Amino acid sequence: MRKYQVLDERKNVKIFALDDDATMTLTLQSFFQSSGYDVDIETDPMKAIDRLRDYHYDILLLDFLMTPICGDKVVEAIREFNADIFIILLTGHKSMAPPIKTIRELNIQGYFEKSDNFGQLELLVESCVKSINHISMIREYQESLEDANNRLIKANDIMQNHFNEMVTTMRSIVDARDIYTRGHSDRVSFLSEKLSIAMGRSQKENERVKAAGLFHDIGKMKIPDSILLKDGAIDTYERLIMQEHPKNAVNILSNVSMFSEMIPGVLHHHEKYNGSGYPDGLVGEQICQDARIICVADAFDAMTSFRRYRINLSVEQAKEELVKGKGSHFDPNITDIFIRLIDNFDEIKNDPNWIDPYIDIMRSSGQTLLAYE
């Protein structure tokens, strides 16, 4: 396995710009090199594919309309041998971009409508750099953990310490990106475990859903800051990108074997009981029980916590919304058990493991929106 180094400086980020317009590639190269990036360019799509196969690049700036093949065909070829490179599609006009379905299937991180002002493109690139740094950190921890596992296979107590450190590190990376959601994963994990215990499940199941609750939003590491930290409501395209975070989480967690059992709960925590959720549109008990538990806990904490785009609901208001969502959004039986659990919410708040939401952040947000939607 190639040793991944944390990318602390722009000069360590390699950008590849592909456009059949030589003037555009030279302009992109000049602009981003002046900002401290290492930039290579190419005007021939076929030669570009070979270079991307032979050399490592972190970010690809890719024109859509080219000859002899367009950008979507270039991405299809690249994804056969490189699933990690971040791709930003460049278009002459938004209407010329490929369909959203194609963008999602090819794992394209975003697109930029060409203009003389590269400011927005630079923000997209900076967002990609942050994600690259975070993913590199995780891979370093993964490799360290695997090395420790090989050396200390019989020392379960030491391995547990490494596991806990990785959990803490990965969770803190996600929380650090947005002060409004800091502590959210801890609370979802806490509530999921409490709910699992109240349902009479086994200790192994309780521990598994607790861990899955911690990691349920880890996939948001690959969501651009321009979407994740947006002050207003996100548009349809941005919502589709945001809805990729469960699949992103699977890509991250599947690299460590000890996380494999929690993956179904993380992947499907946004499925709805009536089949209208994502990413797979599962219905009822097709959704694993861990995911149905996390779905309720996640919705409750989201509704009762402040966000930059809305104020919070009270516990009683959140309970009313959970009841409204029984049978459509939430598993009815699990919802009933959870509502009985939070009838003693003061007891939950007094638990030493409970982390209070940030309640003094930007109370002047706009209309109340149901975050679980």
> Which residues carry out catalysis?
220
Q: Which residues contact 231 (CB under 8 A, 6 or more apart)?
A: 308, 309
Are 248 and 222 spatial neighbours (Cβ–Cβ below 8 Å)? yes
Strand ranges (E), 64-151: 86-91, 110-113
Are 191 and 298 spatial neighbours (Cβ–Cβ below 8 Å)? no
Token pair of 232 as six digits: 């207003």
* Residue 240 CA, distance from chain mean position: 12
What's the rounded Cα separation, in Å, for the pair 225 and 244? 14
User: CA quadruple 159, 164, 167, 170: dihedral positive or negative?
Assistant: negative
Which residue is it, tokens 């395209």? 237
Q: What DSSP element (H or E) covers 113? A: strand 110-113
- Nearest CA-CA partner of 326 in 337, 317, 336: 336
Token pair of 70 as six digits: 């367009």
Are 240 and 189 spatial neighbours (Cβ–Cβ below 8 Å)? no
